[in-house]
């Protein structure tokens, strides 16, 4: 790598800013299992008990899910008699406040951590339903505005999300026919009691078909005046061929995403995968699959943009290094020139201090010769060892320099001459130039860093 730091400093800064985003991108593209396709497409169930209220779970190991369909991932389990707060209902599913032990997820990049257990949202951010049973996290709950406080209770295993206490407005779902809303369980003192008949919950990707364990468990529940009877189910339609085909496509695409994510970042190509997902958005067999495809496409588009930006920066960095190396080679070809000793004045102007060559920290001690008409540096001067000449005595005066040697300053564009002082002569500013015709007239040096001049120096110092 070239040692010329100036031209590429900003490139390094941009890379440092982007690398954390790259690290996030690596996590976000870890293959995930697509949402299970609906097992049936029959008529929707009649809505359960409507409205808000309180209910009690009628069985053990009943799933609480991230959405109002049994193909949404489960987040936790409840047992017979557990109390839930109902806020709404939809097609036989009850929308409930998150029970104790449930949590939500928020991307860590959107949270400024204040303490071990608290943070503040730094931008508008989406909150997702977290699960105690698996690593899925695509189900959205609420959006938090900038400045919202969150209570942090942990983080995901991949380090990409914080686990937080569910914020206001976050809800989960439970099947309506597994909940007693009559109050009979509580009145009978059975709240929290596991002694009742076990109701087998529906597993992800399964439907409670006639004759299934769930139906059998409901059928064997003892009858009585206080018995809670399940809501009759609508018989599901047979599984559709389109559902199987969509699931096969999702599985294949996720495998390709995993293979692409294993490549070096600059070699990844997500455009073919986006093209394969697009048909699912436009013609998937169910709404859940369409939602999955839309979300995955947005993720891949974001990462494709990141890859393109990194490629552009890599090309720019290589071009910058090539240019710096070419300039270095050109400078190396410029040979130092020795001035022929003589009595002619080789340069004239005012003597100013050089903040760059101050004689400290191992740097040589030099002064600048400044053309007062242009306020531009035209040359540097330095003293030979043991010289009695003191350039400070000539501050503020118009002088001419007689030199015993000359060489060219490297590292400036164009290079400037450095004269070894033989004599400093005070001149009349109006006198005609006596600069030797053999001496090349220097040009302005790029402005150096500002430095405080000595008390005897004119206040018009530009460095």
Sheet of 93-96, strands arranged across: 74-78, 62-65, 172-175, 93-96, 83-90, 53-57, 179-180
Burial of 150 (C-beta count, 10 Å sphere; 0-12/13-18/19+): buried
pLDDT in tens, the chain (463 residues): 444 444 444 444 444 444 444 444 444 454 444 444 443 333 333 344 445 799 999 999 999 999 999 889 999 999 999 999 999 999 899 999 999 999 999 999 999 999 999 999 999 999 999 999 999 999 999 999 999 999 999 999 999 999 999 999 999 999 999 999 988 776 665 444 444 444 444 444 444 444 444 444 444 455 454 444 454 444 444 444 455 677 788 888 988 998 888 888 888 999 999 998 888 887 776 777 888 888 989 999 998 898 889 888 888 988 898 888 888 877 776 654 444 444 689 999 999 999 888 888 888 999 999 999 989 999 999 999 999 999 999 999 999 999 999 998 877 767 889 999 999 999 988 755 544 333 444 433 333 333 444 434 444 444 4
Q: At what angle do helices 241-261 and 271-283 cross, to 10 degrees?
A: 160
Give the predicted TM-score (pTM) of the model. 0.35
- Show Cβ contacts of residue 151 under 8 Å, excluding neighbours closer than 6 positions: 117, 118, 164, 165
Token pair of 230 as six digits: 């399940």
Would 53-97+172-219 and 106-127+137-164 be classified into the same CATH topology?
yes
Q: In DSSP terms, which residues pair with 351 in a beta bridge?
A: 369
The CATH class of the 53-97+172-219 domain is mainly beta
pLDDT of residue 51: 55
What's the CATH architecture for 106-127+137-164? Roll (2.30)
Domain chopping of the chain, boundaries = 6-36+241-316, 53-97+172-219, 106-127+137-164, 335-463
Return the ∠ at Cα 87 (arms to 182 and 75), rounded to 5°: 100
Dist. CA 176–CA 202, nearest whole Å: 13
Q: In DSSP terms, which residues pair with 150 in a beta bridge?
A: 119
Beta strands in 329-447 (DSSP E): 347-358, 365-371, 376-382, 398-409, 416-426
């Amino acid at each position: 790598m070239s040692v010329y730091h100036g031209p590429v400093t900003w490139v390094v800064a941009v890379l440092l800013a982007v690398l954390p985003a790259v690290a996030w991108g690596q996590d976000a593209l870890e293959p995930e299992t697509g949402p299970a396709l609906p097992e049936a497409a029959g008529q929707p169930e009649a809505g359960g008990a409507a409205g808000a209220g309180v209910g009690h779970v009628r069985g053990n190991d009943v799933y609480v899910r991230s959405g109002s369909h049994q193909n949404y991932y489960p987040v936790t389990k409840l047992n017979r008699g557990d109390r839930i707060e109902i806020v709404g209902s939809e097609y036989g599913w009850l929308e409930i406040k998150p029970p104790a032990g449930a949590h939500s997820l928020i991307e860590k990049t959107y949270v400024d951590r204040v303490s071990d257990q608290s943070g503040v949202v730094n931008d508008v951010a989406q909150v997702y339903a977290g699960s105690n049973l698996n690593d899925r996290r695509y189900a959205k709950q609420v959006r938090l505005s900038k400045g919202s406080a969150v209570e942090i209770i942990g983080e995901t295993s991949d380090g990409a999300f914080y686990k937080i206490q569910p914020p206001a407005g976050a809800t989960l779902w439970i099947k309506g026919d597994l909940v007693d809303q009559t109050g009979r369980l509580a009145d009978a003192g059975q709240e929290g009691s596991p002694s009742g008949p076990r109701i087998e919950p529906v597993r992800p990707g399964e439907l409670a078909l006639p004759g299934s364990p769930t139906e059998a468990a409901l059928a064997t529940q003892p009858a009585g005046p206080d018995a809670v009877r399940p809501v009759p189910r609508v018989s599901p339609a047979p599984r559709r061929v389109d559902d199987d085909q969509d699931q096969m496509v999702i599985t294949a695409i996720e495998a390709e995403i995993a293979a692409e994510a294993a490549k070096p970042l600059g070699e990844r190509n997500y455009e073919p995968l986006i093209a394969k997902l697009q048909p699912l958005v436009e013609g998937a067999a169910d709404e859940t699959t369409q939602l999955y495809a839309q979300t995955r496409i947005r993720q891949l588009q974001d990462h494709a943009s990141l890859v393109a930006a990194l490629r552009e920066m890599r090309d720019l960095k290589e071009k910058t290094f090539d240019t710096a190396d070419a300039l270095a080679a050109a400078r190396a070809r410029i040979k130092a020139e020795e001035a022929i000793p003589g009595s002619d004045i080789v340069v004239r102007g005012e003597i100013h201090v050089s903040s760059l060559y101050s004689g400290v920290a191992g740097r040589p001690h030099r002064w600048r010769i400044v053309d007062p008409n242009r306020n531009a540096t035209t040359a540097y001067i330095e003293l030979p060892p043991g010289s009695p000449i003191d350039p400070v005595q000539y501050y503020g005066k118009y002088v001419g320099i007689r030199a015993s040697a000359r060489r060219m300053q490297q590292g400036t564009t164009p290079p400037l001459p450095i004269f070894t002082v033989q004599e400093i002569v005070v001149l009349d500013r109006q006198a005609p130039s006596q600069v030797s015709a053999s001496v090349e007239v220097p040009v302005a040096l790029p402005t150096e860093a500002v430095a405080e001049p000595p008390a005897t120096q004119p206040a018009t110092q530009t460095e």
